[in-house]
Chains A and B, each alone.
Chain A
C-alpha cells in the first residue's frame, strides 16, 4: 500500500500519563514544534519509523481529562477530533493510560472509542505496577473494552517493539474497521438531537454529533449557519449542555468501573508512601514556601554562575570572528554590515542560549520529579489576587535572570488571561542585562557608604531597584486583572503526581526543543532589528557624515592625537552625524524634562537591541576605545556638563531618573520578539511596549522634577 500522505497517529491521554515520554521514545530527535491553526497551543509532531512503505507522523496532543474541555489547549484536541476535514485529524489514536490509576484514565478512552476512531491502548507504567504489586490482565481488558491493549513502560522503553508492531498492524487494516457498539448509550433526548445534528452536518457518528451539540458555541470549523442550525436543533430537543455532560460522565464510570475491578487487583499500601512523607514537609504551610524560596535561590545562582563561562566564550568567539572578518575583508559598508550588523546580531541571540538552556533544564527537572505541581499549589492563592496563576511564580522568578526563557515558561499556564498577564508583567522584573547599567549609574545617586553598621548604601539602592521592578510587575498585573475580560473559567484543579526519579532523556529533549525554538523564531526578528540599528548608527546624511570626518581629522591633527585616540574621536563624531545621532537630537526635546541630553537619547535608542548596549554606546559617544572600562566611562560622564547651563548632565536627579527609566522601560527587542511569538500577534508586544515605556517616562519625569 502506498499513500500520498503520511499516516497521522494521534497520541492522546490524561496529563501525567507519561504521554510525552511515549512520544519521545517513538520519535526520538525527529520531532518539531508547530502551532495548531489559529491558536498559540504548541503542536508537537514527529516522524516515527513504523514501516518503510509509508511515512508516519505522530502528533502529541496536549494532555486532557475528557472531551468536555475548559482551557485553550484542551479545546484544540476536541475541535481536531470532531472535524474529519481537519489537517490533523488522526487515522489512528494511540491512547496512553497510567495502569496504576486506570479508573480515571478510562473516561477519555471510552469517549474516543465512541467517536469511531481506530484505537490502541498503551498501558503505561508497567514497571511501576509490578513494583506496587498491581495484578492485571491486559487480554481480558482488551476483550471487555474491544480495544487492543499493549502494556508498556515509557521509563525503561519495555515493550515498545510490541507497540510499534501493533501500530503497524492497525495502519495496514485502516480501511476495514468494524464499528463496535458505543460504550455510552445516548438517552432518547440526546439521540433525537444527535440524529438531527448528524443529518444537518452530514456526519455518520452520533456521538460526534452529540459532542457538536455540546460545543457548537466555540467550535472553529462550524460556519455561522451551521452554528445557528445546531443551536436551534438543541433548543428544540431540550438539550441541556452541563446536565448531559454530567450524566454521560456518570454513566461511563458506571460502565467501566466494574471492568477495572474485574481485570485489576491492587494491594493496599500499608505504610505512608515516600510521596506522603515528602509532601508532609514540602507542602507544610511554613516549610513549603521556605523550601520553594531556597530552591529558587539555587536556580537563580545556577543561572548566574554556570552561564557566565559559556556566555563569555560565545561573546569572545563572536568578537574574534568579527575582528578577523574586519581585518581580512576590505573596509567598506558590506564588511560593516557583516561584522557590526549580522555577526553582532547573531552573537546577541546566541549569548542568551546558556541561560535559556540552564533555566529550562532546571525547570524541566523540577517538573519531571513532580515538584512543580506543589509549588503551583503553594502560591496559587497569592498569585490569584493579582490575576495571575500559581504557575506564574516560576516565570516571575526566572525573569530575574532573563525575561526570554521566563516568558517561554508560561506555556504551562492553561488559562489564557492568566498566561497573558504573566507574559505582560514579567519584563518588569530586573533582568541580568540591567545590572551593568545599574552599576554605572548608581554611583551618581548614592555614595558608597556603610549604613546601620552592615549595609552598603549602594547595595541597598540596588535592592530598591529590584523591589521597584517587582512592585511594578504586581501592580500592573492587578490593573490588567480588571481590564481584561475573559469568558474562560479559571481552575486550579491540578493533579499532584507521585515523586519519581527524572528521566533525563525527556529533560534533554525539552531543553533542546526550547533552545532551538528560541534561536530560530526569536532569532530571526532579533537579527533584523540588529541590522536596522547598525544601519542607523553607521549611516547618515552624506553631507553631515563628510563634515564629521573632516572635523574629526582636523581636531586630531590640532590636538596631536595618536592613532587609537583619533579613531575613537572619529567614531564619536560619526555617530553624532549618523541617523541615530539625528534621532537622538530629534527626541532631545521629549527627553529633556527627564534630564537627558541627545547623547543619552542615542543610548536609549541603541539600548533597544539589549540593555547592556547602553554601556557600549556611551563608550563610543565619549570616544573611549574599550567599553569594558566602566570606571573610565563613569569619569567621563561625571565631567559632562550641559553646554547652555553649565550644569552637570549626570546629577543626582538625572541619574536617578535614568535608573528608574531602566527599571520600567521595555528596551529589549528579544523580549518583544518572544512576546510576539508566544501571543501570536503584534498587538500584545505593542501594548506592552507602550505601557512599559509610558511608565518609564512618567517615573523618570517625576524623579527628575522632584530632585533637580
Chain B
C-alpha cells in the first residue's frame, strides 16, 4: 500500500471543502486538470464509496467521480 501524506484527498471525509494544491502523479494530475480540478480550485467531497471505492467530488457546481488511486494523487489543504 502506498504511504499517504496527511494532505492527500483520501485523508479527508465527506462534505469537507478543500483547496487543491498539487498532484503526486503527473499523468493523473494532467487528466484531472483537463476536467477542471486545478491547483488553487476548491472542491467538496460529496461521497466516498466504501472499501477504497470511488470518490464523488463537486467542483464548480458540477460532479465528477474518480477512483481511489486518482483521489490519492490529489494533494489538498
Contacts and interface: CB of A to CB of B under 8 A. Distances in A.
A246 B27 CA distance: 9
B67 A380 contact: yes
A104 interface: yes
Given A495-B65, A496-B63, 7 more contacts: A70-B31, A243-B26, A253-B38, A283-B47, A489-B27, A492-B70, A493-B67
B13 to A, nearest CB: 15
B35 A104 contact: yes
B54 A285 contact: no
A455 to B, nearest CB: 32
B36 A103 contact: yes
B2 interface: no
A276 to B, nearest CB: 8
A107 B34 contact: yes
Interface of A: 65-66, 68, 70, 101, 103-104, 107-108, 242-243, 245-246, 249-250, 253, 266, 269, 275, 279, 283, 285, 373, 376-378, 380-381, 384, 489, 491-496
A70 B30 CA distance: 10
Contacts of B36: 103-104
Given A242-B27, A285-B50, A380-B53, A492 B34 contact: no
Nearest to A283: B47
B49 interface: yes
B11 interface: no
B62 A246 contact: no
A492 B33 contact: no
A68 B56 CA distance: 23
A319 B29 CA distance: 60
A242 B32 CA distance: 13
B30 A381 contact: no
A377 B56 contact: yes
B1 interface: no
Contacts of A373: 65
Contacts of B7: none
B38 A380 contact: no
Interface in B60-75: 60-68, 70
Contact of B49 (A101, A266, A377, A494): A377
B34 A381 contact: no
A496 B34 contact: no
Interface in B1-47: 26-36, 38-39, 46-47
Interface of B is mostly: mixed
Residue among A70, A103, A376, A381 with max Cβ neighbours from chain B (10 Å): A381
A495 B36 CA distance: 11
B27 A249 contact: no
Given A104-B35, A381-B51, A493-B35, A242 B30 contact: yes
A101 B35 CA distance: 11
A49 to B, nearest CB: 35
Contact of B70 (A68, A283, A491): A491
A380 B67 CA distance: 8
Contacts of B29: 246
A245 B68 CA distance: 23
A492 B61 contact: no
B9 to A, nearest CB: 13
A496 B64 contact: yes
A250 B33 contact: yes
Contacts of B27: 242, 489
A381 B49 contact: yes
A381 B39 contact: no
A250 B38 contact: yes
22 contacts: A101-B60, A103-B36, A104-B36, A108-B34, A242-B27, A243-B26, A246-B33, A249-B33, A249-B34, A250-B38, A253-B38, A275-B63, A279-B47, A285-B50, A376-B65, A380-B65, A381-B53, A381-B68, A384-B67, A493-B31, A493-B67, A496-B63
B51 to A, nearest CB: 6
Given A249-B30, A381-B49, A493-B35, A101 B54 contact: no
B70 A493 contact: yes
B30 A68 contact: yes
Contacts of B61: 101, 266, 269
B62 A104 contact: yes
B60 to A, nearest CB: 6
A66 B36 CA distance: 11
B31 to A, nearest CB: 6
Interface centre among B27, B35, B66 (most CB of A within 10 A): B35
